[in-house]
Amino acid sequence: METILYNVSDDVAQLTLNRPDVLNRINTKMIEEVRATVATFAADETARVLLITGNGKGFCADADLAANVAGGDYMTTGQRVAHGMDVGFNPLVRELAEVPKPVITAVNGTTAGGGCGLILECVDDEALMEHALKYARKLADGPPKAFREIKKALDISERHTLSEQLDYEHDTQGILGDHANSKEGVVSFLKKKTPSSWHNPKQTTSNIYPKCTTGENYGI
């Protein structure tokens, strides 16, 4: 890949924006490669958490204004920018938000404009990557189904009234309470031990976001 780096280790996938000479500014090629990589991560059962960071002194300093903006010659500059967002950046942010796994961002420097759209979790410390990877591995060790439902619950909460959200979580916790991870989590909690394993059914288009929500560290 030309604009990013990607690897998976210890259940954690790391995506590094790799245009350090221009502070990892977003161009069309980067959007294409990030979207393809996010899809790969979503389908990879060995990768439970995605950690996004940048190479060099900056995380992501907005769009690359020196690059050609998508769109025909008949478009104004504003129309070309809007068109580029419609076909590239906005779908990328939506796809990141819809991935049914935890996504965190280690912001290692300058961030502006479009770069801010990639920030879902920020760690600010001298030992940035050490803390970010530690957090990512902690999430990777947790119950994947519960984390998928937590992410969905947070997403839909903005569209629900309090009563609707309570009903939604009532229904979901009833479903998750019967899941194999719930029993494993409760037993592990009572015995004060680390869960031996989590059941993680193969994801399909139909079960990426089933009607479930919430859950915590012990799969309930």
Pair 34, 122 in one domain? yes
Alpha-carbon separation of residue 208 from 96, 125, 146, 148 (angstroms): 14, 34, 12, 8
Q: Mean per-residue pLDDT for 130-151?
A: 82
Question: According to the model, what pLDDT value does residue 8 have?
Answer: 96
**CA 99, chain centre distance (Å):** 6
Structure token pair of residue 149: 């439902």
- Split at pLDDT 50, 70, 90, the class of 199 is low
Pair 12, 100 in one domain? yes
For 17, the domain range is: 4-140
Pair 81, 153 in one domain? no
CB contact at 8 A, 46 and 11: yes
**CA 35, chain centre distance (Å):** 12
H/E element, 169? helix 162-177
H/E element, 110? strand 110-112
Percent of the chain with pLDDT over 90: 23
Domain boundary among 121, 140, 159: 140
Q: Mean per-residue pLDDT for 147-168?
A: 84
H/E element, 180? helix 180-190
CB contact at 8 A, 175 and 214: no
Pair 123, 148 in one domain? no
- Split at pLDDT 50, 70, 90, the class of 34 is very high
Q: Mean per-residue pLDDT for 167-171?
A: 81
Question: Which CATH number characterizes residue 85's domain?
Answer: 3.90.226.10
- Split at pLDDT 50, 70, 90, the class of 185 is confident
Q: Mean per-residue pLDDT for 181-202?
A: 70
Task: Give the range among 28-32, 125-129, 142-146 with minimum mean pLDDT.
Answer: 125-129
Question: According to the model, what pLDDT value does residue 219 have?
Answer: 39
Structure token pair of residue 16: 């590094």
Question: According to the model, what pLDDT value does residue 202 have?
Answer: 45
Pair 87, 151 in one domain? no
Question: According to the model, what pLDDT value does residue 124 have?
Answer: 55
Count other Cβ atoms within 10 Å, centred on residue 3.
Answer: 19
Domain boundary among 113, 140, 167: 140
Question: According to the model, what pLDDT value does residue 114 have?
Answer: 66
Pair 65, 49 in one domain? yes
CA distance 20 to 3: 9
Q: 0.85 exceeded by the pTM?
A: no
Q: How many residues does the chain have?
A: 220
Exposure string over 116-135, b if 16+ CB within 10 A, otherwise e: ebbeebebeeeebeeebbeb
Question: According to the model, what pLDDT value does residue 214 have?
Answer: 38
Pair 16, 54 in one domain? yes
Question: According to the model, what pLDDT value does residue 140 have?
Answer: 84
Residue 66 pLDDT exceeds 70: no
Pair 125, 163 in one domain? no
Alpha-carbon separation of residue 133 from 14, 46, 101, 157, 186 (angstroms): 9, 16, 15, 28, 27
Pair 206, 129 in one domain? no
Average pLDDT, the chain: 77
Question: According to the model, what pLDDT value does residue 170 have?
Answer: 79
Pair 165, 199 in one domain? yes
Residues 81-137 pLDDT 10s: 677 778 888 888 889 888 989 999 888 877 766 676 676 544 655 677 788 888 788
Residue 212 pLDDT exceeds 90: no
Handedness of CA 132, 134, 137, 142 (dihedral sign): negative
- Please identify which residue in the block is written with the tokens 């979503």: 42
Structure token pair of residue 99: 């991935």
